[in-house]
Amino acid sequence: MSITVDWDKTIPRVMHVDYSHRWTWKELYEAEHKGVDLINESSYEHVVVIHQMSRFKTLPEYPVTNIHRLIKGLHPAMRLTIFVGMSGFVKTFWNIAKNYTLRQFQEQHKFDFVSLPDEAILFAIKYLADYPLQSDLNTDPD
């Protein structure tokens, strides 16, 4: 598969979506379904999704329509999406589709762009610190 989806090995509630050089919208929709399944199997209410996009510079056909569909279909637990290494060309289509989509529903998701994977991890850790896991809240320090 040209797109892989999995939980971070060390940081709970961080999901990674990794793209190869060439991929299709069908593969991205399949990856989205896998991500939704992973979230549904968990009890997480706040998830950060990191898209590693530095391996490609263009998009498959009909980017605005497909990005629009993907944004509308985000799982409610996906609260922050971070794009790593997105090219200027791809970012232009992303912004067009995002602006069109967000006019149609209230934004409950946040989106950010970084250049390096380490920046994305730090951003995710900082964001998730405001939403501790329920198990962390129930821990007795004594």
Q: What are 44-75's pLDDT values in tens digits?
A: 999 999 999 988 877 888 887 888 788 888 89
Residues in the chain: 142
* 116: nearest Cα among 83, 74, 73, 79: 83
pLDDT, position 15: 97
* 46: nearest Cα among 126, 117, 100: 126
Q: Tell me: the pLDDT tens digits for 8-22? A: 999 999 999 999 878
Q: Helix crossing, 63-72 with 25-41: angle to 10°?
A: 10
Q: Tell me: the pLDDT tens digits for 92-115? A: 877 777 776 666 554 677 888 999
How far does the chain reach from its first CA to its final CA, in angstroms? Answer: 47
Distance CA 39, CA 26 (A): 20
Domains of the chain (ranges; CATH) run 3-35+45-130 (3.30.750.24)
Angle at 50 between CA 43 and CA 96, to 5 degrees: 115
Q: Is the pLDDT of residue 39 over 90?
A: yes
Instruction: Compute CA 85 distance to the chain's CA centroid, rounded to the nearest angstrom.
Output: 13
Amino acid identity of residue 25, one-letter, is: W
